[in-house]
Amino acid sequence: MRPGAVHWQKLWSIVAALPMLLNGCGTNKTVLEEIVEQVYPIALNTDLSIHNRDGAVLVYGSDGNELRVRSAKKAYSRERLSQIAVDVSTTPGAVSVTAKFPPQPKWAFSDHSGTVDCTIVVPATASITALDLNSGEVLLDSMRGREVHARLGDGRIFARNCFTNVDLTMDRGMLTLWYDWWEQAGSSANVKVAQGNAWVFLPTDAAFHLLAHAAHGKIANDFNNVASFQSSSARYMNIDQVINGGGSATIQIRLGRGNIKIAEANP
């Protein structure tokens, strides 16, 4: 098995230990849960799109040629739970996974609960053309397709060993980009965070062009053989640095308000 690839049989034992976010009101209510697992044969270079409102989206790249979707619906009432659905649509070369929620009730004491946690195992060579989540957690692990696009409103994004063209956008929260080792070919990242913090962990021998901008914050850089530039008004910081020869890889991070840390994963 290729380093970093995840075998689906090992995933389900990990899922329960991962932190999940559940949005709801009141702690004295019993949370109802319904779990559905679906399996579909798909092409290795399939385009995948994922849409969810509240909860989590965990995507793992594997060596298989199938799509596995484990959806965990949660709500405070049986009626509300039954109104939430996860639709999986497959066509040649494309798959979409969509969590569908009922309209939010307008009354103050109505049941506004409902989240969906989706764990998806897909061929590592698949592309994620769109991953859209309003609130919660996004995990991307071992993807090697043409591209990965993910957008999160509020919460956390964690992308690990995704050797592809990664494009991550977040309104508010914490974003972590992690590489346990480095592969020059097909590795690039474009990160945008409006408000929050971004951490990037890279091996000491990683070769890339680093472009980092913190409009209202600071940048800490372990690969600091070139000094960062801070404006005279101290409102923003910039780094434009070629590390270990650069090669063809570019890592670009832009923050509106918050701090950036570029760290050596194995100094």
Give the integer Cα–Cα distance in Å for 59 and 72. 14
162 token code pair = 């995704």
Q: Return all residues near 85 (Cβ < 8 A) that are at least 6 apart.
A: 99, 100
For range 95-123, the mean pLDDT: 83
Q: b or e along 122-158 (b: 16 or more beta carbons within 10 Å of the residue's beta carbon)? A: bbbbbbbbebbbbbbbbbbbbbbbeebbbbbbbbbbb
| Side chain identity at residue 14, one-letter code | I
- Helix, strand, or coil here: 13? helix
Domain ranges of the chain: 32-105+114-148, 179-267
**Each residue's pLDDT tens digit, 65-84:** 999 999 999 999 999 999 99
Q: What pLDDT, on the 0 to 100 scale, is given for residue 23?
A: 42
Tell me the pTM: 0.84
Place of tokens 């798959």: 95
Mean pLDDT of the chain: 86
Residues 89-100 have a mean pLDDT of 96
**Percent of the chain clearing pLDDT 70 (strictly above):** 82
